[in-house]
Each structure stands twice: as structure tokens, then as C-alpha cells.
Structure 1
Amino acid sequence: MTDITLSKHVVPATITVSTTKTGGATLSNIAYAVFILFCFWVGSQILNLLVHAPGVLEHLAQGNDATRPRIEMGLAVSTVFGLVPFLLGCMFLGVIGLAVKYRHRHYY
């Protein structure tokens, strides 16, 4: 029988597993967590301002031009014309992302 010798091992003889963690990864994870917590804190402060000070959103939506009529916008109107299109757009982008991921997974 013929003996076949390969130049490289198919399966490495020794597998080294590193059990030490690098300090840079830990510090970057902590920095990212602090950034996310800061974003949540800012968002909660803005929501708190809008809830406890009615009329702020309507005031910010209006210009300083006195010739324009004053717009009184209720919570339902701002939800229908603000939040609903945003959520539908996010859902549309999510469906496109899932379709691309599915197509990439099954065609390559």
C-alpha cells in the first residue's frame, strides 16, 4: 500500500485555547454601555418634558411667523401622522432586511 504524507496537518495536533480576556474589549464594552444608558436617559428626559409640559410639541412645530394660522394639534393627530408612519417605515426596512438576509443565506 502507498503511504501518503501531507505537507500540513489536516487537523492540528495541538489546539490552544486562550482563556484570557483583553482589557481593551472590556473597556470598549463599558464605554458602549455608558453611551447607551446616556441615550436612554436623554430620551426619557425628552419624553418627560413632552408629557409634563403640554403644548411644547405644538409650539416647536410652529414657526415664528405671525401671518400663519395657529395649529392646535392633539395627541391622536400627532400619533397618527408621526408615530404610525415611522413605525411603518421601520417595519418596511425590517422586511427588506429580512428578505436580503434570507436571499443571501439560501442563494450563496
Structure 2
Amino acid sequence: MADMSLSKQVVPVITTVSTTKAEGSTQSNLAYAAFILLCFWAGMQILSLMARAPGVLEHLAQGNDATRPRIEMGFAVSTVFGLVPFLAGCVLLGVVSLVMKFYHRHHF
């Protein structure tokens, strides 16, 4: 067999980990992970509900008033007027948080 030697190590050498951080950071990381999992679970439930019962959103938008005309809303219309503003709001919130993060890093 051919002998192959590499100039760099394939598997890096394991170094000791610094333990100077406070013990509370582990608890806060676990709480944050649980919160994110809860948000993902809630979002999955909402998307699952919308996929299995596409008439739910239209029914909720109409209300119980019999004097109003019946609204037939397609999946594309509900996506444009529901999902797009939600995603735009998330992007706006993300941009504001990034601006605040950079502002605090550079001014302190």
C-alpha cells in the first residue's frame, strides 16, 4: 500500500476547556434551548393545522355574522396576506436586534 502523509493533522488535538464562566450560563442556555424548542413545536402545530384543514383560516376570517357575504379565500391569497407579513415582521425584528447588538458592541 502507498504511504500517505499530510502536512496538517486531520483530527485536531483536544485541548483543555476553560472553566472560568459562571455556572448560571449553563442554566440560561438550557432555558433558551427549551424556549426555542417550544417555539418550533408551536409553529409546527400551527403549520400542521393549516396543512390538514385549509378551510380553518377562511372560516375564522368570516366570523359568525350571516349578513356578511361569504368569502372564499384560496391558499395563495392566505399565504400572501398571512405568511408574508409575518416573515416581513420577523425580518424587521431581526434587523432591529442586529442594529442594537452592533450599537452596544461598538459604543461600550
Q: CA-to-partner distance for each residue in 1:51-106, whole Å, 9 max, x for gaps?
A: 0012011111111111001111001112233333444555567678878999x7xx
Structure 2 residue 71 is matched with structure 1 residue 71: yes
Distance, in Å, in 2 between the alignment partners of 1:30 and 1:97 is 22
Distance, in Å, in 2 between the alignment partners of 1:100 and 1:20 is 27
CA RMSD, aligned part only?
A: 3.0
Distance, in Å, in 2 between the alignment partners of 1:25 and 1:101 is 19
Structure with bigger RCO (C-alpha 8 Å, 6+ apart): 2
Distance, in Å, in 2 between the alignment partners of 1:76 and 1:29 is 38
Residue segments in structure 2 that go unaligned for 5+ positions in a row: 1-17
Distance, in Å, in 1 between the alignment partners of 2:36 and 2:66 is 40
Distance, in Å, in 1 between the alignment partners of 2:43 and 2:35 is 12
Alignment-derived partner of residue 41 in structure 1? 41
Alignment-derived partner of residue 60 in structure 2? 60
- Tell me the TM-score normalised to structure 2 length: 0.61
Give identity over the alignment, percent: 72
Residue segments in structure 1 that go unaligned for 5+ positions in a row: 1-17
